[in-house]
Structure 1
Amino acid sequence: MIGPLYDRGYFMSLVYSGSFLVVFGTMMQSLCSQYWQLMLSQGITVGIGTGVIYVPSLAVVSEAFTRKRAIAIGVPSTGAGIGTHVSLSDDITLLTIEVIGGIIYPIAFRKLQPMVGFEWATRIIGFIFLGTFAISYLSFHGISLVGTKPRAMIDRTAFRETPFMVYVLALVLIGCGYFVPIFYISVDATTNLDISPDLAFYLLSILNAASVIGRFLPGLVPKVFAAMAAFPLLTAAGGLVVFAWMAVHNLAGLVVFGAIYGIIAGYLITVITIMVPVLSPPGAIHETIGTRIGMAWFGFGIGGLIGSPIGGALSDTKTGNFKGAQAFGGATLFGGAALLIYPWMVVRRRRA
């Protein structure tokens, strides 16, 4: 059951505008011939569109379910592991596809491109986006989203809550390390292990397929509180796995690494949202849940924005030396795990 959260017109305007930006940016991506055009269509247009859709949708689910909240959030989060958008990269003189996540969309594009060319392969992906968005519109019929006005983008009271701000800082560090394996596992395979690009392509699909399992794990834990208890531990485990990546020197090891890290990554990306309502003061949950989730994801997004470029700057792609990126990814995940201990202890004391 969905309780009153947003004014329906306001909420649906976010859904419609976000989905339009994703489809429009993807279609414009098919016309890109220069790097700045790619940044405008994929980086800015699609990026804003996905952000506009993702956080409000999770906020609705998070407040709608007080029981089985972890399962409720895990179901839509799983979709992000099954199908995620693709982006362009410059390969000498041609614009080609570099996978940045997901299973269905990257594989679909890779099969479509030889048959219909880059432009129409990208447009077909855009039409698939449009179809899936249309299905989501139907799911909102009959949902009660009434009685409140649009809220501020920032909850200023949250800045006075030390546990929440430490949590956001932890998410910045986690975001820095989280995307390092996602961006560099395929490159590591082709440069260090002499694996063909076709096979290396599917390593990222394996990682994302494993993340589907991880996204369901919080929902399998009997209590949300218990699911959150594993957050610092699994974040540290993620850092340890990234450090262990340095010792991988064959394809089998890389497949195992991708699968294990994918499961952990799927768990982490799901618990981020689950933690916010529990960490917030009880009186503030219904009033500011969407805003606080947005603030938490903003911190994670900042980490993701700066983490992968830093990892790239610490690596030497020509010689295949990715130890700098691996060390940076593992260290930031460990740092995030350390910071998570304080907000977790605060929640534990409240529950006691």
Structure 2
Amino acid sequence: MTSLVAEVEDNSVSSVSADVEETLDDKKEDSDPYEPPTAECAFQGHEDSASQRPISINNIEAIPNGGVQAWLQVVGSFFVMFNTWGVINTFGVFQTYYETELLPSSTPSAISWVGSLQAFLLLFLGAFAGPIYDAGYFRELMAAGSILIVFGTMMLSICKEYWQVLLAQGFCIGIGTGCTFVPGVAILSTYFTTKMATAMGIAAAGSSLGGVIYPILFHKLIPQVGFPWAARVMGFTLLATVVVTNLVMKVRVLPASRRKIIDRLAFRDPPFVLFVLGAFLAFMGLYAPFYYIQLYSIELNITGGDLTFYLLSIINAASVFGRVIPNFIADRTGPFNMMIPCAIFTGILALCLIPIRSIAPLIMFCLLYGFFSGAFVSLPPTILVHLSPSRGIVGTRMGMCFAIVSIGLLIGTPIGGAIVRASGFWSIWLYSGLLCVCGGALITAARVFKAGWRILKMV
């Protein structure tokens, strides 16, 4: 992701003593092995920077932690998530349609590469979008990403071959989401401190809401207007919502120096390394139910009619609460203490899919899996802030973490598709569950290295 960025608005003339005091505070906060005392200053984008008084990005007291402008960023970030992870969370309905209608000659593994490529590009490109964002190109990133997402969806409407779908949905939309996700999330940490997990949870709920609306929209439109116009309607919906994002989001300050892409000291930090490895494994298995739950229901004849196509929407609807409620609690208990049980429960729930053969337990699974997986997805950015030795290095470490996790997302569901074809659905649920549980165990180890064995300690 990125460094902490924001805009400074200070129209009052402060006293000399206040300036001296703030300068001393900034130097004290900035004096760590990651940041030279004079390097990390921030200015208002490219607009009249000479007239703005520099403020260190490590100056916590300067962050508003609320207010109209800050909550407007949450609105903008909500729609960023709506059109990035919300689109990716929708791929399960495309997986089913492609396998049964548009691309029946393609294997489940081949089709799932389209969705996993989207998720991979979203996170992997964040490592490169971060420094571009730090350089002051927030507007350019958001505009370019928004155009690519809408354009890719519109081009999808004329696709008839696998390679066309891969280019439009995998590459074009994936690159677009990679451009917008990083600035859309990173900007929140420059407006919030103690309320950051809450703000992040509300914004992250956008991905779940997108995952509810887009599958229903797609499923209802297909029989009425066909695939081409169903895709176009989604494109127009995307267009309307990305306009909101580009209108309301506003950078508060920018660092005076560009951040590093790699922090070598991070590889000697056991909590960070263990957390990244745990997230890699967990995300590798996390999306198997999102992609294959509908096919599972169809092939085993568990549900009939439209209910099958609502399963993904049920998961994403429950995920709305999973992204908001645990994040709100995490501001009081600590994000580590909230994420660990959510990760382990997510894995256990995936294992519980193996014996399910009837409607009621399947619906219950969708509700619980949506809730706990939603918390698992929304909490990592907040944890990475806590794992960073200073705020000036947060963006670098987020970029490193998400670049590694993106590889797990890229290979996870295609491997799952190959497993389904070779051994049946029970094997993919075992694969998904064990990966999530092992990931949760490594995250637990990261928490122990960070704060010891005290269970009640806020971490």
TM-score range normalised by the length of the shorter chain: 0.7 to 0.9
> Which amino acid counterpart does residue 339 of structure 2 have in structure 1?
F
1:331 aligned onto 2:439: no
Aligned to 2:126: none
Query: CA distance change for structure 1 residues 340 and 208 in 2, over 3 Å: closer, same or farther?
Result: same
1:104 aligned onto 2:213: yes
Tell me which moved more, 264-273 or 121-130: 121-130
> Which amino acid counterpart does residue 380 of structure 2 have in structure 1?
I
8 Å Cα contact 1:278-1:347 kept in structure 2? no
Query: CA distance change for structure 1 residues 222 and 204 in 2, over 3 Å: closer, same or farther?
Result: closer
> Does the residue aligned with 1:105 lie in a helix, a strand or coil?
helix
Query: Counterparts of 1:222 and 1:307 in 2: how far apart (Å)?
Result: 28
1:304 aligned onto 2:409: yes
1:315 aligned onto 2:423: no
Alignment equivalent of 1:65, drawn from 162, 176, 192: 192
> Does the residue aligned with 1:103 lie in a helix, a strand or coil?
helix
How far has the Cα of 1:139 moved from its partner? 1.1
Query: Counterparts of 1:222 and 1:32 in 2: how far apart (Å)?
Result: 44
Query: Counterparts of 2:254 and 2:336 in 1: how far apart (Å)?
Result: 30
1:56 aligned onto 2:208: no
Query: CA distance change for structure 1 residues 154 and 303 in 2, over 3 Å: closer, same or farther?
Result: same
Aligned to 2:35: none
Alignment equivalent of 2:323, drawn from 201, 207, 215: 215
What whole-Å deviation, never above 9, does each CA across 1:15-66 have from its counterpart, x for those lacking one? 1111111111111111111101111111111112112211222111134311
Alignment equivalent of 1:173, drawn from 277, 281, 285: 281
Query: CA distance change for structure 1 residues 335 and 106 in 2, over 3 Å: closer, same or farther?
Result: same
Query: CA distance change for structure 1 residues 187 and 30 in 2, over 3 Å: closer, same or farther?
Result: same
Aligned to 2:208: 81
> Does the residue aligned with 2:354 lie in a helix, a strand or coil?
helix
Query: Counterparts of 1:154 and 1:13 in 2: how far apart (Å)?
Result: 23
Matches within 5 A, 1:187-336: 187-196=295-304, 198-221=306-329, 223=331, 225-281=333-389, 283=390, 285=391, 287-316=392-421, 321-336=424-439
Query: Counterparts of 1:170 and 1:116 in 2: how far apart (Å)?
Result: 44
Q: Indicate the structure (1 or 2) with the bigger Cα radius of gyration.
A: 2
> Which amino acid counterpart does residue 409 of structure 2 have in structure 1?
G
Aligned to 1:117: 226
8 Å Cα contact 1:68-1:219 kept in structure 2? no
Query: Counterparts of 2:402 and 2:450 in 1: how far apart (Å)?
Result: 19
What whole-Å deviation, never above 9, does each CA across 1:78-136 have from its counterpart, x for those lacking one? 000001xxxxxxxxxxxxxxxxxx11112112222333332122112111111111111
8 Å Cα contact 1:214-1:266 kept in structure 2? yes
How far has the Cα of 1:298 moved from its partner? 2.4
How far has the Cα of 1:194 moved from its partner? 4.6
8 Å Cα contact 1:173-1:335 kept in structure 2? yes
> Which amino acid counterpart does residue 264 of structure 1 have in structure 2?
F
8 Å Cα contact 2:294-2:311 kept in structure 1? yes
1:38 aligned onto 2:165: yes
Aligned to 2:449: 346
> Which amino acid counterpart does residue 210 of structure 1 have in structure 2?
A
> Does the residue aligned with 1:247 lie in a helix, a strand or coil?
coil
Over 6 Å off, 4+ runs: none
TM-score if structure 2 supplies the norm length?
0.67
Gaps of at least 5 residues in structure 2 are 8-41, 43-56, 58-132
* Identical pairs, percent: 37
Aligned to 1:14: 141
Gaps of at least 5 residues in structure 1 are 84-101
TM-score if structure 1 supplies the norm length?
0.86
